Chains A and B, each alone.
Chain A
Amino acid sequence: MSANDLSLAEAKTSVFITSPNVRSPARPKNRRAARSHSRRVPDLVLESIVPVTILVIWDLVTRLQWVDPVFMPTPLSVARAFYDLLFKDRLLLDLKVSGITVLEGFTIGAGLGLATGIAAGLSSTVDKLIGSILNSIRQVPPLAFLPLIILWAGAGDTGKIVVVSKAVFFPVFMNTLQGIRSVAREYVEVGRIFEYPRLRMLRKVILPAALPSIFVGIRYGAGMAWFMIIAAEMLGGRHGLGYLLTRAQELLLTDQLLLVIVIIGLIGFSVDVGLRRLERRLLRWKRGFEG
C-alpha cells in the first residue's frame, strides 16, 4: 500500500513542474430548484392518473347502478352531501373541533416526546430510569386509556387529547432517542475542539445531526395523531369528524359516510405533504436518493 503511495508521490515530481492550473470556482447551482421547475407539471400529471381513474370507475359503476346506491352513492351525491354538510349542517364546526383537539394532543405529545427523547439520549441514567416503564406503556394501545380518562375527567376533550398525545409521544420519543444516540462522535469532537458548552453542543451539533431521525418520528406521529383523534371521536363525544362518521352510520347516510372518509384522507394527506416540504427545507443540506 504505502510503497504504492510512494511511487505515486515520486511520479508526481517529474510530471507536474508547471504552475498548477486550479479550477476557478463557479457558483454552486441550486440543483433541486432547477430540477423541480422543469418537472412540476409532468409530476402533477403522473400523480393524478390513479386517483382520476378511480373517480371515473366509481362514477361509471354507480351511475349505471351496478351497486345499490345505499351501499355506494354516486360521486355527485357525495359532492352534494359536501355542500349540504358544509352550508346547512355542522361540518365546519366538526372540522374545527377535530383540528384543534388533534393539534393540542400533537403539540403535547411531540413536545414531551422530544424532551424525554433528548434527556434519555444524552443520559443513559435517564434512559435506564424511564426506559422500561415507557416501554410497558408503549405496549398499550392509546385508545385503551380512553375509558379510564373519561372516568377521571368526564367525557370532554381531555381523553381525546391524552389518546392523541400518547400516540404521538412514542414515535417522537424513540426516534429522537435513536437519532441522538447515532450522532457521529466525530461531529461532537469538532464541537469539543471549539470548547462548546453543553447547551450549545446540543443546539448546534447534536440536534441538527439527529434532526433527520427526529423528523421521521414527527411525521409518523402526525399520522398516528390523525388516526387516533378520529377513532376517539367515534368512540365517545358529540362532535368531530369521527362523530360525523358514527352519526352517518346510524342514519344510514352513505354519501356522508363516504364524504367524511374522503375529507379525513385529504386532510391527512395535506398534513403529510406539508410536513414533507418542511422536512425538505430544514434538511436541504442532505442530499439523498431522490428516485
Chain B
Amino acid sequence: MSTTEAIEVEISGLSKEFDNDGQTVVALDGIELSIKRGEFLTLVGASGCGKTTLLRIIAGLELDYEGEIDLEGIPIRGPGVDKGVVFQDHRLLPWLTVEENVGFGLFRHAEQERRQLIQHYVDLVGLRGFEKAYPNQLSGGMAQRAAIARALVNKPKILVLDEPLGALDAMTRIHMQNEIEKIWRREKVTMVMVTHDVEEAVYLSDTVALMSSRPGRVKKIIPINLARPRNREDPAFQALRKEILTEFQLQTKAQFSYEI
C-alpha cells in the first residue's frame, strides 16, 4: 500500500494501570505493536479492554504509563499537532461554528491560507453550506465529520480515531467508511482507528489488531491483504470477517463467563 515500509509508531512493553479509589485496574498489559507509515490499523476488542486508553497514549494525552512508545523514533512526550485525534464523542467546541471548529488548530497560519485550508477540509468531509452552523445544529454524523476535518487540517503524521462512526446509522456509516478511506488515501496519513464493527475493520484496514480484556492485550494481529477498493461481497472478505468475528466472540464469551 504505502511506498515506504518505515515504522511510524513503535510500542513496546506498554502497560497502563488506573487507580480507581484504591482499586487498581490494569487497562493495558504488555502491548507490543508496530504501526507502519501510511498504514491503516484498526483496534477491535470488547468494551473496556483499553482501546481508548491506548489511543490516548498514542496521542500523548496520557503520559503516566510503563513501557515505550515512539513516533518516528522519538518518544511521545505529549499531545501535539503531529498527532490528530478524533474522539469517541466529537468534542467540537459548542461556542464555535463549524468553520471555526475546523480551523481551531490553524492559529499560526496567515488568514488567507487559513481560509483555504478550512474550505478544503470542510469540502472534503462534505459539510459545505454548514460553515456557519453551530455544533448543536448538526446531526451526530455531521458533527463527527467536522471533528475529522478539524483533526486533519494540520496534516498530522498520524490520526487516531476512537469509534468515529459509532453514533451513525448503518447507511451513513457505510458512506462515511468510504469517505474515511478516500481521505486516508488522499492525505496519506497513518490511521489508527477503534471500532466495534468487524466488517468496518476488514473493509478499511491494512491490519486488524484484536484486543483481549482484563488485562488489555493485543491478542492477535490480522493482516488484511485484499485489494482496494474492497468488495464486501467478496468471499475472501467474508471469510476474513467470519474469522475475526469468531475469534472476537470466543474471547468476549470467555471474558463474560469469567465475570459472571
Contacts and interface: CB of A to CB of B under 8 A. Distances in A.
B184 interface: no
Contact of B171 (A13, A16, A187, A285): A16
Contacts of A200: 107
Interface string A16-52: 1100111101111000000000000000000000000
A193 interface: yes
B53 interface: no
Contacts, number: 114
Given A6-B249, A22-B175, A194-B154, A286 B89 contact: no
Contacts of A193: 59, 61, 79-81, 83-85, 105
A268 interface: no
Interface stretch (B5-13, B15-23, B122-130): B122-130
A2 interface: yes
A32 to B, nearest CB: 11
A119 B35 CA distance: 43
A5 interface: yes
Contacts of A190: 91, 93, 104
Interface residues of A, number: 40
Contacts of B132: 28
Interface stretch (B26-34, B66-74, B195-203, B219-227): B195-203
Contact of A20 (B61, B80, B128, B172): B172
Contact of B199 (A13, A23, A208): A13
A209 B94 CA distance: 9
26 contacts: A2-B46, A5-B197, A6-B198, A9-B198, A9-B200, A10-B199, A12-B170, A12-B199, A13-B241, A16-B171, A20-B171, A20-B174, A20-B175, A22-B172, A27-B129, A186-B87, A186-B91, A187-B91, A193-B79, A193-B80, A193-B84, A195-B80, A205-B93, A284-B134, A285-B94, A285-B134
Given A6-B249, A193-B83, 10 more contacts: A6-B196, A6-B248, A9-B196, A9-B197, A15-B170, A16-B170, A186-B89, A189-B61, A192-B61, A208-B93
Interface of A: 1-3, 5-6, 9-10, 12-13, 15-17, 20-23, 25-28, 186-187, 189-190, 192-196, 200, 204-205, 208-209, 211, 283-287
